[in-house]
Amino acid sequence: MTGPVSTAAGASRDGVVAARRLARWLGLAATPTFAIMAVLTAALGGGPADMLCAAGHGSLLGGMVPMYLLMSAFHASAWLKLISERRW
């Protein structure tokens, strides 16, 4: 017997599953996106945004390229999890 309450619960469960899949794909997309942004910024130059983000001139962590590389590293956990779950 299927009533409106059980149908809504099933739809809610599907929504949760879809949201989890989307979150996983977004997590996987973040690392290469930030890596590409780092390469493009290094190749094309940062421009005015690079000057704003360079907190300490001469610092190794100043500028947009190191920031993008750090963001790429911080988001790499999704890739590490995917690799660790892979069966050989």
**Residues 19-76: pLDDT tens digits?**
999 988 998 999 999 999 999 988 887 666 556 555 555 555 668 888 899 999 999 9
Distance CA 24, CA 20 (A): 6
Length of the chain: 88
Burial of residue 33, with CB atoms counted within 10 A of its CB: 0-12 exposed, 13-18 middle, 19 or more buried? middle
- Place 87 in a pLDDT band, splitting at 50, 70 and 90: confident
pTM, whole model, 2 decimals?
0.65
Given a cut of 80, whether residue 79 has pLDDT beyond it is: yes
Question: Which comes out higher in pLDDT, residue 43 or 87?
Answer: 43
